[in-house]
Amino acid sequence: MEYYSPLMLCVITVAALDICALVLIIAAYREKSSGRKRWDRISSSMELVEQGYTYQLGCDEILIGRHASADIRLSDMSVSRYHAMLTVADGVWTISDLGSKSGVYVNGVRIKKKTLHENDTITIGSRQLVLRKRRNARDE
Amino acid sequence: MSNPFSYIFSCLFVLLAHSTMLFNVYFNGSYTDEHQVFVIAAAVIGLDIVYFFLMLFFRQHTYNVDFMLILILNMSNIFQSCFGAVEFDHRHYITSLAALLASRVGYHVCRNHKWIQKQKVFIWIGIGLLAAVIFAFTGSRSMWITFEKFSIQPSEFMKILLILACATSITEQQNKHTVLGFSIVWENVILFFIAAGICLLQWWCRDLGSIPTFMAIYAAGFLLRICYPKAKFSRKTLFIAAGAVLLAGLVALHFAPDYVRARVFVNIWDDTEGDGFQQSRALIAIAEGGWFGKGPGKGALSGVFAHDSDIVFASVCEEWGLLFALMSVLMILILLSAPLFNPPRSYYHGTMAAGVCAAFTAQMALNIFGSCNLIPFTGVTIPFISTGGSSMAASGFMAGMLIAAQSPEFHKPGKKKTTKSKPGSSTKTAAGRSAKTASKSGTRSKTKKKPASSGRRAAV
Amino acid sequence: MKSIRRCQRIITLFILAFIAGMGVLVWKINKESPFYMMHSDNHQLGMVYDRTGGVLFDGIGKGKYEDNYFVDIGNLIGDDKGQMENTLVARNIDKLNNYSFSEGLIREGGQAAIYTTLDHYANRAVYNIFGYTEGCVCAYNYKTGELLVCVSLPSIDVTKGYDNIGELKEGTLISKNMYGTVPGSTQKVSTVISALEIMGRDKLFSKSYACNGKYINSSGKEIVCHNAYGHGVQGIQQGIENSCNPFFAQLIEDPDLPLSKITEKYRKLGYAVNDDEMKYIDIDGIQCERASTTLVDSGDFNTEWACIGQGETLVSPIQLMMWQSAIANGTGKMTMPHLIDHCTNTYGDLTSYSKTTYSEQLFSETTAATMKEMLITNGNNHYGGITSSPLAIKSGTAQVKEGAEENSLLVGFVDDDRHPIAFCVLMENKFGTALTAEQILKTLLDSLSS
C-alpha cells in the first residue's frame, strides 16, 4: 500500500487539474453568451436584411461582394467582386465603396463613404439591403 | 463580473488544483525543512486569492484567459520550486508576478485596434530599435544582455512586436499600388522584409531556436492576410511560397556552419557526454519518471544545465510524471484555444490571437520535441513553465493580447473618454451621439436603454 | 463571419498540429523508454537461469554464490559491462530490462528474466574435467535445438570484475565455440558428404586407393599419412576410419570428383569458399561464425589439405556440431541451435517462447543415411564403452601454430531418441596434458544423461 500512495497522489493531482480545466472551459462557454451580448452593444445589435433573408454582422469589418471570400456574398453580376465594406466603431456602422463599378447607394444617394443609421437602405448593384435592429434585440 | 457563479466556481477549482498539487508536494515530496512547503503554499494560494480579488476590478467581457493564466503560472511556481529539492523559488515567483503585470499591460495596449493602428509607426520604430540593440549588445557572442544582477533576452520582445506589426498592417490590404506592372501592397512588402530581417539577425547572433517561432508568427499573419479581401492570393501562390520557404530552409541547412550541422545531425546516444548530453539525460529522466513520476523534489535532472528552461519538460516529467506534464501542456493549449470559445471580432484581434497561438505552439514544439530528440535541440523556452524573466514577461504580454482579443474595444481614438473607471461611459457617449444623429425616434428610445443595462452589469 | 472562422481555423490547425506532435512523442517515449533506461545509472537487470532454474547471471545482485560459480559459462553469458559484446546478456539486454514505463523505476521485485536451455551441472562437469587444459565443448539436443553445453576455456567469473584485464589469457573473453578453428580430420565428414552428393553411394563405395605412408600428388608435392607404414588399399569406410590423408588426396584428384562441384557442395554446407563473405549463424543474437576455406585446383597441395582439414580451412565448433545434426536427423537439414527457452518481463509475464527451426536441406536423405551408417560403424569400431547407445563419431587432429601444437577434436552424435545429443569437443595442445578428448566426451555425455 505504501508503494502505491505516491501513485494515488499523482492521479488525484491530475484529476483535480483536469476537473479545474473542465470547469474553466464550461465557464468560458458560459462567458460566450456575455461576450455576444457585449458585441451586440458594440454593433448596436444591427443586422442586414434583404427580402426576408438576414445577414448577421458578427465582426467589425464586413466585406460585401460577389467573391467567394466575401462575408456577405451577393451572387449577382451587377455586384462587383469586392464591392463595399461595412465597418463599426463606437456602435456606429459606416459603409465605404471599394471602387466598385456600379457604386454604392444609401437611401438613393451614391456615396464613397457614409455613416449609416437604422433602417437605411443600401443599394448594391441591383440588390437592396436594409440595416435594422435585430428582431430579438428590439423585443428586449 | 457578468456571471458570479462561474467566477466563484472558477476560483474554487483553481484553488483546488493548486492545493492538490501542494498536498502532493507535502506527502510525496523530498524536503528536509517542511517550512519550505508552507512558504510555497502561502505564496501560491496567496497569489491566487489576491489575483481573484483584483480580477473583480477588471472590466473585461470574459475572464477565462485570466483564470487559465493564474492556474498555469502558479503551477509553474510549484514546479520550479520542486526541481531537485523542495525550496521556494523567489526568482521564478517574481518573474511570474512580472508576467501577470505584463498581461495587464498587454491587454490595455492591444485591446483597441483603432488606437493601436494609429501608433503603427511606433511599432516599427520599436522593431528597429530592438534590432539595433540586439545588433549592438548581444551580437554573435550571446543572446543575452547582462546587467549587474540579471540578464535579458531582447529577442523575446521581438515576438510581441512582430505579432503587433502583422496584426496592425492587415487592414492596409486595400491600398494597392501598381509598380512595374505588379500590384503591390507596401505594408506587405515592409512586413516581409521585417520578418526576413529578424530571421537573418537571429541567424547572425546564433539564436537559431527563435527563427522557427518568428517564421510561425509570420506564417499565421500571412495566412490570414491572403484571405483578406482583395489580397488576391491563389492557392498556387500559396504552394509556391511554402515550397520557397522549404527550399530556403534546405539551402540554409546545407550552408549552415558546422556547429549547426553537428546539432542537427547528432546521434545523441553515441555522444551522451558531449552534444547529446542534455537530450540523453532528459530522455533518461522521462523514462525514470514513467507515467506517474518519482515525486516532487526527487528528480535527478536538476544537476543538468538548463534543467529549468530548455529541458523543463523532462524535469516535470521526471518529478510529476508524463501524465501530469501532458496535462500542464494541455492547460497552455486551453489558454490558446480561448478564441475558439469566444471568437475575436475583427481581423486585428483575430490575427493577434493566431499570432500568439503560433508563437506559443512553435515554442512549445521546439522545446518539447527538441529536448526529446524528435527534432534538433534548440534553446527555446516553454511559455510560463520555463524559468527566465524575459521569456515570462513576453509570454505574459502575449497572454494579455489573448485577453484583448477576447475583450475587444471598438472606439475611435480621440473620440472617447477613459473606459477603465467607468465602463458604461463609452457606451453612453456613443449612444448619446447616435441619439443626436438619429433621425427616427424609435432608435432613441432603444439606445437609451443600453447604458442602464450595462451599468447593472458593472455593479455585479 | 468568414474572417473569424478563418482565424479560428488557423488556431485550430496550430493546436492540432502540436497535439499530433505530442501524440507522436508519447508513442515514441512509450516505445523507446526501455532503451533510454538502459543508459540510466539506475537501471536494473533481471536474472538469467539455466534449464533447471539455477542462476547463470544475477542482474539484481542480491544473491550469494560460491567462488567461481559462474566461471564455466562466463564467456557465453557475459554481462552488461561492455567488455564482452558477443554474449547472451550483451545481445539480449533489452529482454533483461527490469523496467516498465507505466510505473517508471520499479523499486523492488522486478521479474525480468531469461530462461536458457543450458544445463549448468553438465557445463560445470565439463569445465572441471578440463583442469588446466584449454579448449571448448558444445552440445545440443538435435531434435529440439536446445543448446545444453557451451563451455570454453579459459573463462572468467564476471562477478569478479575486470581489474586484471591485461593479465587475462587470450580467448578468455570469448566463447571459442563461436569462432573458426582448424577442423583437422573432422573436415573429412564434409568432404565425404560432398563426394556422396556428387558421385552417389555406389560409385563412392566402389572406389579404393592405396596408401603407403605418403602420397606424391599430381603437382609433385608430398602428402604424408599419420601412419608412416601406410594403410594399404582402402575403400571409403576404411579411409574414414583410418582418417587416411593419402586416401583423401587421391579422392580429391579423382576425375569423378571435379573441384567445381566440391566447391558448390561446400558452399551449400555453409563454407565461405575463397573470397566469399563470411556467413554467420545467429544464436539468440550471438553471432557465430560458420566455415571458410580456400579451394584452387584439384591437384593443388593446399586445396587437397583444405579438404583433408588443414590448410586454410576454418570451421567453428558450433557449425561442426550442427552438421552432425543434419546427419542425425536423417533429413539433411540442420537443427538450428537456440539458447533462450523463454523470457519474462518485469511483471513475470511470459514474453517470448523459442521454437525449433531447421535450416534448408544441405544434402539428400540417402547421403545422410549413408553418412550416419559410416560414422556409427566408426563409433562402434573405435569408441565403444563411451555410451551404451550407438555413437556416431569422427575424430580429428588439427595442427596449429605452424605445427607446434596439435588439437584434438571429436564431433558426432548419440543415436538415441531419449538422449538426442550432437556434440563437438575441442581439446587444445594434446601433448601438453594427460587428458584425452574421449575422457571429456564421456564426462559430457554422462553428465547430460544423469
Omega prior to C154 cis, within 30 of 0:
yes
Provide the pLDDT confidence category of residue B230 given band limits of 50, 70 and 90: low
Sign of the alpha-carbon dihedral angle for A134, A137, B1, B4? negative
Average pLDDT, chain A: 82
| Spatial distance between the Cα atoms of C319 and C308, rounded to a whole number of angstroms | 17
**Angle, to 10 degrees, between the axis of helix B277-289 and the axis of helix B312-320?**
20
∠ Cα C140 C146 C147 (to 5°): 50
Nearest CA in chain A to C109: A3
Write down the pLDDT at residue C3. Answer: 74
Write down the pLDDT at residue B167. Answer: 86
Contact B343 C4 (CB under 8 A): yes
**Angle, to 10 degrees, between the axis of helix B64-82 and the axis of helix B389-406?**
160
Residue C406 in grid coordinates: 596439435
Closest partner residue to C6 (CB to CB) among B227, B321, B369 is B227
List the domain range (segments joined by +) for residue B265.
Answer: 4-406
CB < 8 Å to A70, chain C: 2
Write down the pLDDT at residue B294. Answer: 84
Sheet bearing C55-58, strands edge to edge: C55-58, C47-49, C113-116, C340-344, C350-353
pLDDT: is C242 or B183 the higher one? C242
Provide the pLDDT confidence category of residue B75 given band limits of 50, 70 and 90: very high
| Spatial distance between the Cα atoms of C59 and C46, rounded to a whole number of angstroms | 5
CB < 8 Å to B75, chain A: 17
Secondary structure element (H or E) that encloses residue A5, with its range: helix A5-42
The Cβ of residue B376 has, within 10 Å, a number of other Cβ atoms equal to 19
User: Going along C262-384, which residue ranges are E strands?
Assistant: 271-273, 280-283, 286-289, 291-293, 314-315, 333-335, 340-344, 350-353, 358-361
**Angle, to 10 degrees, between the axis of helix C2-38 and the axis of helix B347-371?**
10
Closest partner residue to C11 (CB to CB) among B227, B322, B340 is B340
Select from B298, B323, B373 the least CA-distant residue to C103. Answer: B323
Residue B287 in grid coordinates: 523514462
* Complex-level ipTM: 0.84
Provide the pLDDT confidence category of residue B229 given band limits of 50, 70 and 90: low
Select from C219, C208, C218, C273 the least CA-distant residue to C244. Answer: C208
Min Cα separation A139/chain C (Å): 24
Question: C442 near C140, Cβ under 8 Å?
Answer: no
Dihedrals phi, psi of B142, to nearest 5 degrees? -160, 165
Q: Which amino acid is at B59?
A: R
| Spatial distance between the Cα atoms of B70 and B62, rounded to a whole number of angstroms | 15
Q: Are strands C340-344 and C350-353 parallel, antiparallel or unpaired?
A: antiparallel
For the stretch B120-133, pLDDT in tens is 888 889 988 888 88
| Spatial distance between the Cα atoms of C253 and C274, rounded to a whole number of angstroms | 19
Q: Based on the number of CB atoms within 10 Å of its own CB, is B246 exposed (0-12), middle (13-18) or buried (19 or more)?
A: exposed
Question: B361 near C15, Cβ under 8 Å?
Answer: yes
CB < 8 Å to B333, chain C: 15, 18-19
| Spatial distance between the Cα atoms of C75 and C136, rounded to a whole number of angstroms | 11
| DSSP annotation of B3 | -
Residue B382 lies in a domain: yes
Contact B287 C12 (CB under 8 A): no
Dihedrals phi, psi of B274, to nearest 5 degrees? -110, -115
pLDDT at position C119 over 80: yes
Q: What is the 3-state secondary structure (H, E, C) of B382-415?
A: CCCCCCCHHHHHHHHHHHHHHHHHHCCECCCCCC
Select from C251, C232, C250 the least CA-distant residue to C242. Answer: C232
Residue B132 lies in a domain: yes
Min Cα separation A10/chain C (Å): 12
Residue B11 lies in a domain: yes
Question: B398 near B356, Cβ under 8 Å?
Answer: yes
- Chains A and C form CB pairs within 8 A to the count of 15
Question: C328 near C142, Cβ under 8 Å?
Answer: yes
| Spatial distance between the Cα atoms of C392 and C325, rounded to a whole number of angstroms | 11
Write down the pLDDT at residue B103. Answer: 94
Contact C15 B287 (CB under 8 A): no
For the stretch C152-204, pLDDT in tens is 988 888 887 777 777 888 888 888 999 999 998 899 999 999 999 998 888 88
Contact C3 B369 (CB under 8 A): no
Provide the pLDDT confidence category of residue B173 given band limits of 50, 70 and 90: low
CB < 8 Å to C107, chain A: 3
Residue B284 lies in a domain: yes
Write down the pLDDT at residue B314. Answer: 92
Best A2, A9, A87 member to test B by mutation, with max B CBs in 10 Å, is A9
Provide the pLDDT confidence category of residue A1 given band limits of 50, 70 and 90: very low
Write down the pLDDT at residue B149. Answer: 59
pLDDT at position B69 over 70: yes
Question: C410 near C387, Cβ under 8 Å?
Answer: no
Sign of the alpha-carbon dihedral angle for C379, C385, C391, C397? negative
Residue B427 lies in a domain: no
Residue B443 lies in a domain: no
Secondary structure element (H or E) that encloses residue A54, with its range: strand A53-56
Residue B171 in grid coordinates: 487592414
Write down the pLDDT at residue C346. Answer: 83
| Spatial distance between the Cα atoms of B148 and B174, rounded to a whole number of angstroms | 49
Residues 6 or more apart whose CB falls under 8 angstroms from that of C30 comprise: C101
For the stretch B329-359, pLDDT in tens is 999 999 999 888 888 888 888 889 999 999 9
| Spatial distance between the Cα atoms of B370 and B360, rounded to a whole number of angstroms | 15
Provide the pLDDT confidence category of residue B436 given band limits of 50, 70 and 90: very low
Residue B413 lies in a domain: no
Mean pLDDT computed over B277-299: 87
State what percent of residues in chain C have pLDDT above 70.
Answer: 99
Is the Cβ of C1 closer than 8 Å to some Cβ of chain A?
A: yes
Provide the pLDDT confidence category of residue B174 given band limits of 50, 70 and 90: low
pLDDT at position B449 over 70: no
Question: C295 near C305, Cβ under 8 Å?
Answer: no
Is the Cβ of C104 closer than 8 Å to some Cβ of chain B?
A: yes
Tally of CA atoms within 13 A in the half-sphere of C47 that contains its CB: 17
| Spatial distance between the Cα atoms of B75 and A12, rounded to a whole number of angstroms | 15
Residue B183 lies in a domain: yes
Mean pLDDT computed over C92-96: 84
Q: Based on the number of CB atoms within 10 Å of its own CB, is C41 exposed (0-12), middle (13-18) or buried (19 or more)?
A: exposed
Which residue's C-alpha cell is 515567483?
B93
- DSSP string for residues in B82-137: HSSS----HHHHHHHHHHHHHHHHHHHHHSBHHHHHHTHHHHHHHHHHHHHHIIII
- DSSP string for residues in C189-256: HHHHHHHHHHH-HHHHHH--EEESSEEE-TTS-EEE-SSTT--EEE-HHHHHHHT-HHHHHHHHH-TT
Write down the pLDDT at residue C418. Answer: 86
Average pLDDT, chain C: 87
Give the CA radius of gyration of chain C: 27
Q: Which amino acid is at C33?
A: S
Q: Percent helix, strand and coil across chain C, each rounded to 5?
A: 40, 25, 35
pLDDT: is B103 or C40 the higher one? B103
Write down the pLDDT at residue B145. Answer: 66
Number of domains in chain B: 1
| Spatial distance between the Cα atoms of C227 and C213, rounded to a whole number of angstroms | 6
| Spatial distance between the Cα atoms of C339 and C118, rounded to a whole number of angstroms | 7
Select from C382, C214, C409, C381 the least CA-distant residue to C323. Answer: C409
| DSSP annotation of C276 | P
Dihedrals phi, psi of C151, to nearest 5 degrees? -110, 140
Select from C352, C341, C349 the least CA-distant residue to C100. Answer: C349
Question: B75 near B328, Cβ under 8 Å?
Answer: yes
Contact C103 B364 (CB under 8 A): no
For the stretch B15-26, pLDDT in tens is 999 999 998 888
Question: B447 near B435, Cβ under 8 Å?
Answer: yes
Contact A90 B64 (CB under 8 A): no
Select from C126, C111, C301, C293 the least CA-distant residue to C224. Answer: C301
CB < 8 Å to C37, chain B: 284, 287-288
